[in-house]
């Protein structure tokens, strides 16, 4: 990708490799979009995943499997967490690789061509919001689009 002056820019990185903060150029596929109702502030939200993301992991893999003991042992228990958060403490992002990127366009209710399944290249400032890397009002380029047949 070259900018207006003809200079080469850095190659796009994957969602997994995003820093917690800073200017980034990344690409991936839109997993889902959220349309805000008319009585709320106008914003358009999309969730971006890597183009080479693994298949989603099922939450209860043995639940549908045969064998009662294995299925029963994989069910969640009713354990209570003793971890307390101090008032005023900053939210920490969960440890582990990032799998999704939230993209928010403020002041827009819809962006033509940006739907689930669309491949995008994004450039903008990434920040952590509610444990999820987020980019507000990025520059974007539609790389491919699913055509209705």
Q: Which residues of 92-131 are buried (b: 16+ CB within 10 A; e: fewer)?
A: eeeeeebbbbbbbbeeeeebeebeeebbbbbbbebebeee
> What's the predicted TM-score (pTM) here?
0.63
pLDDT in tens, 55-79: 444 444 444 444 444 444 444 444 5
Q: For all residues of the chain together, what is the average pLDDT? A: 74
Query: Residue 85 pLDDT more than 80?
Result: no
């Amino acid at each position: 990708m070259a900018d207006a002056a003809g200079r080469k820019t850095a190659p796009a990185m994957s969602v997994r490799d995003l820093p917690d903060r800073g200017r980034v150029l990344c690409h991936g596929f839109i997993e889902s979009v959220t349309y805000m109702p008319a009585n709320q502030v106008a914003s358009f939200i999309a969730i971006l995943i890597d183009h080479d993301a693994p298949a989603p992991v099922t939450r209860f893999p043995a639940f549908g499997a045969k064998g009662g003991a294995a299925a029963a042992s994989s069910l969640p228990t009713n354990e209570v967490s003793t971890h307390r958060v101090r008032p005023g403490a900053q939210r920490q992002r969960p440890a582990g690789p990032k799998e999704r990127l939230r993209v928010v366009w403020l002041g827009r209710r819809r962006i033509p061509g940006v739907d689930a399944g669309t491949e995008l290249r994004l450039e903008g400032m990434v920040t952590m919001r509610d444990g999820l890397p987020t980019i507000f009002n990025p520059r974007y380029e539609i790389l491919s689009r699913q055509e209705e047949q």
